[in-house]
Amino acid sequence: MSASTSSSPISILLINGPNLNLLGTREPGIYGSSTLEDVITSCTATATSAGAAFTAFQSNHEGAIVDRIQQARGEGVDGIVINPAAYTHTSVAIRDALLGVGIPFIELHVSNIHAREAWRHHSYFSDKAVAVIAGLGVKGYGAFTACCTGAVSIKTFQNTQSTILRQHSRKD
């Protein structure tokens, strides 16, 4: 991975796949009422306060997501947080792009894909992800916090994952 140094802030790229632009209106019983804009605003605030660089990208197109991942290597992105959405269950191309650039990534789902239809249980990403977050609603995007607040690098996320899950499961 491209290491972050004290002189260069950690750089995080958030990628959202197809139909996540509809967050807030899309099946609210499953995905909640927060919009993607709400999510990005919150993540941007977190990144800014942590002194991290943050970029968000959403596309409904597989090739565009592959292109954005490839572009990330040239930009020196340290870690990717990706909700591949429906491509989770189908995309060898996005998996290969992530492995090709060698940037560590966290896989994120708003819903608990393992509590849904059987065909959603398989992910082309989970076995290669630093961590997998699912079922915490849009609060799952708070996983992003672990990538930049006080964390040396996204690799430390593995050690903080259980803490994050505890924090988010509290009803506060």
Ligand X SMILES: O=C1C[C@@](O)(C(=O)O)C[C@@H](O)[C@@H]1O
> Measured at the alpha carbon of residue 60, what is the angle toward residues 54 and 63, in degrees to the nearest 5?
85
Secondary structure element (H or E) that encloses residue 157, with its range:
helix 157-169
- Over the window 54 to 93, marking each residue x when it contacts ligand X by CB under 6 A and - when it does not, the resulting string is -----------------------------x-xx-x-----
46 is an interface residue for ligand X by CB under 6 A: no
Among 73, 120, 155, 168, binds ligand X (CB under 6 A): 120
Q: Summarize the annotated binding site for substrate as residue ranges.
A: 83, 89, 96, 110-111, 120
Q: What's the min distance (Å) between Cβ of 153 and ligand X?
A: 25
Is 109 catalytic? The answer is yes
Q: Does 113 bind ligand X (CB under 6 A)?
A: yes
Q: How many residues bind ligand X (CB under 6 A)?
A: 10
Other C-beta atoms lying within 10 Å of the C-beta of residue 106: 26
Between 95 and 109, whose beta carbon lies closer to ligand X? 109
Contact 77, 12 (CB under 8 A): yes
Tokens of 44: 């941007």
Residue 93 class from Cβ within 10 Å (0-12 exposed, 13-18 middle, 19+ buried)?
middle
DSSP code at position 106: E
- Of 35-43, 66-74, 96-104, 107-115, the segment contacting ligand X by CB under 6 A is 107-115
CB 2 within 8 A of CB 78: yes
Chain residues that interact with ligand X, rule: CB under 6 A: 19, 83, 85-86, 88, 109-111, 113, 120
Cite the active site residues. Answer: 31, 109
